[in-house]
Amino acid sequence: MPDPAGESAKTPPLPPNDGPLPERIDGLSPHRSLPLDRWLTAVDDPSTGHRYALRLTYGITPAVIAISILARVLGMHIPLGVATLIGATMLLVTWVQEQMVRRGNYRSWMPVVHVNVALTLLTIWVGFSGGVHSPFVWIFALVCAMYGMLRGLRWALITATLSCLYLLVGAEFAVGMGLHLRDAGGDPVPARAFLASYAAMFYLVAVVSALGRQQLKEISRLAYTDGLTGLGNRRALKQALEQELARSARVGRPVGVLVVELDGFKEVNDRLGHLHGDEILRRVGAALRVTCRATDSLIRFGGDEFVVVLPDSRADEAMIAAERIRTAISAIDLPDRPPLTASIGLSTYPDDALTAPELLDAADRAMYQVKARGGNRIGLAS
């Protein structure tokens, strides 16, 4: 490993919530990432957003029922039986969809059904509790915020538009049932002003939540990125391994792991300086991006050490990828110096190990065995 001085030898630190990181690869933290971390840093996968919408529904629905009970205790005449039936129906629909997602049967129509069922049931409840004068209209805005944060601006605006339409239906329902608010003279209180203000609120919440989502994702992206090379950092490595091993255990596909360390990099730093060493590391990162697949996870683990996670790769396929990487690194042109070389260790799940720490340790030991034989080659875990 290179001399610890200079950026070319530094490892990006983790936030204090994760605790200190180990010095070696085989000490990968066993702690799981927070669900919010997983969502924010995941590729925009529709099933991911829908899974979190379902989980939030489990929390929001009982809260609405509890608020309804409180309103009844405080003297508001609302049918608690209707509230309970609506809540039970929402939870049942959510549970059915969650089971489908868990079995890998996500379909594009599922979020559409979920949001329309939620808004339909909410409309019925708002209608029974006073229409546009109901104290539960704000829940429409909560649904807009949820989809804005989980799915982005397009879904937020669609949800806001649907909320306006459903609220209009709820207002007409309340008028038809005689449940709307009346003034002191017994005449219905005009609903137009309420509808306009609620519509403005729904769209404002939708836009703000979608913009907040973009900002949070950018902050999280920076927290998972190595500042020098633009590759992932140790947090990204931990997350990638957890996700890929879980997926591989579910679908029965192998995962390859490469540990790549540059040969003689300390001498490069000593001879050319750490600024030149940093530039070399950036060029190695660029070479990895060009050489590897879009589905591969590229990590700068620290100093001159890199890790590549190869989904759906057997040992022979990982060997081909490792050779491409070794060749690409050797092609990096250095002034007044022999070609840059790298030692690469290779391990695969489930042949060489069944857990992330063991998998990394196997590839790490294979890499050091290669270094002991002079480097510039690829070693298989034994």
Each residue's pLDDT tens digit, 185-233: 445 555 666 788 888 999 999 999 999 888 888 887 788 888 888 888 8
Q: Name the catalytic one among 304, 352, 361, 364.
A: 304
The pLDDT of residue 162 is: 93
DSSP 188: B
The pLDDT of residue 219 is: 80
CATH number of the domain at 231-380, out of 3.30.70.270, 3.40.30.10, 3.30.413.10, 3.40.50.300? 3.30.70.270
**In contact, 221 and 41? CB cutoff 8 Å:** yes
pTM of the entire structure? 0.62
Query: pLDDT by residue (tens digit) across 313-344?
Result: 898 999 999 999 999 988 887 766 667 888 99
Give the lowest-confidence range in 13-17, 144-148, 251-255.
Answer: 13-17
Cβ-based neighbour number of residue 354 at 10 Å: 11
Query: pLDDT by residue (tens digit) across 157-173?
Result: 999 999 998 888 877 76
Bridge pairing between strands 342-349 and 305-311: unpaired
**CB crowding 243-265: b at 16 or more within 10 Å, else e:** bbbeebeeeeebbbbbbbbbbbb
Cis before residue 350, ω within 30 degrees of 0? yes
Give the lowest-confidence range in 158-162, 207-211, 235-239, 273-277.
Answer: 273-277
Q: Where in the chain is the domain with CATH 3.30.70.270?
A: 231-380
259 pLDDT band, cuts 50/70/90, is very high
Quick check: is 304 catalytic?
A: yes
